[in-house]
Copies of this chain bind each other. A is one copy, B any other.
Amino acid sequence: MSEQGYADKRAYFDRMLTLYGRKPALEALRDKALECHALHLAHSNREGGIVGELINAAEQRGIPVQRHSREELARISRNGKQDQGVALDVICPAFQSVGGYLDTLDSARPQRLLALDGITNPQNLGMIVRSAAAGDIDGLLWARKGNAAPGPLVVKASAGTLYRAPVLTCPELPGALEQCQRHGFDVCTLESSAQTDLFAYQPQRHCVFVLGNETDGVSSKVSRLAQQKLSIPMNNGVESLNVAVTASLIAYAGRIERG
């Protein structure tokens, strides 16, 4: 394969989100706006009822149906306990690798990225995705290590917006943040002890805002990389905000600056 061919193939797989579960797969197959790569079924499935509907829906759209052993399917779904013998590769048009994003970045307008540093609750992740997609976030830095994977619970909690969200994938966060810094980004962590108010901070450069774990906050490794630490002012002795709420405030903090 040519170098370009290899790069294209890698970019294609960076856009792939593997769903599992019978109902989520059927809903996705029936959504004509979603491109799908393949439907994966375990040999152990009985071919009737909803499995029959899945096969029909895939065949009608010309999507390949691949059959696997239970063990192989669990490797594909990454959740053998909950996959119900079904996985589906969905192609998300706005997903790409961090490297691919940075290499083609050509914007005079300061970029605002949001990064996930140990977000494990799919409900929170779904809300973060929804608000980031709706608000002014150019990319959501999603490390495979340390965060819950994009799966059916996240799709549901995101009200289906995950498929269209600008997700930037990477193996682990600290390395990806350093990569961003080399491309002129400032790393801004949200930390409750920080002195600078998020709403007073008006970045003139590219910026990655980092959201920490729901309980422990930003990891020390990531905190050490930060050029800027920000906090959100709180009344009534409230000590912290929900992480998805914090994400939303970041996503809309620039509204007035930009008009």
A interface residues with partner B (beta carbon < 8 Å):
94, 123, 127, 130-131, 133-136, 159, 161, 164-166, 199-200, 202, 232-242, 244-245, 248-249, 252-253, 255-259
Query: Given A236-B161, A236-B164, does the pair A248, B241 have CB atoms closer than 8 Å?
Result: yes
* Copies, count: 2
A127, A166, A234, A248 pick with most chain B CB within 10 angstroms? A248
Closest CB-CB distance, A155 to chain B, in whole Å?
A: 14
Which chain B residue lies CB-closest to A133? B236
Q: A199-B252, A200-B259, A248-B248 are in contact. List 8 more A-B contacts (CB 8 A).
A: A130-B245, A133-B235, A134-B234, A164-B236, A245-B248, A248-B249, A253-B256, A256-B259
- Pairs across A and B, CB under 8 Å, 12 listed: A130-B241, A130-B245, A133-B235, A133-B238, A134-B232, A161-B238, A164-B237, A199-B255, A199-B259, A248-B249, A249-B249, A255-B256
Query: Given A245-B248, A249-B248, A257-B256, does the pair A236, B199 have CB atoms closer than 8 Å?
Result: no
Residues on B with beta carbons closer than 8 Å to the beta carbon of A258: 199
Residues on B with beta carbons closer than 8 Å to the beta carbon of A232: 134, 252
Residues on B with beta carbons closer than 8 Å to the beta carbon of A238: 130, 133-134, 159, 161, 164
| In the complex, the 6 A-B pairs of residues with the closest C-beta atoms, listed nearest first | A134-B238, A134-B234, A199-B255, A245-B248, A133-B236, A133-B238
**Could you tell me if B259 and A131 are in contact, using CB atoms closer than 8 angstroms?**
no
Instruction: Give the docked Cα–Cα distance between A136 and B256 (Å).
Output: 14
Residues on B with beta carbons closer than 8 Å to the beta carbon of A235: 133-136
Residues on B with beta carbons closer than 8 Å to the beta carbon of A257: 256, 259
Instruction: Give the docked Cα–Cα distance between A72 and B256 (Å).
Output: 50
Which chain B residue lies CB-closest to A252? B249
Residues on B with beta carbons closer than 8 Å to the beta carbon of A165: 236
**Could you tell me if B164 and A245 are in contact, using CB atoms closer than 8 angstroms?**
no
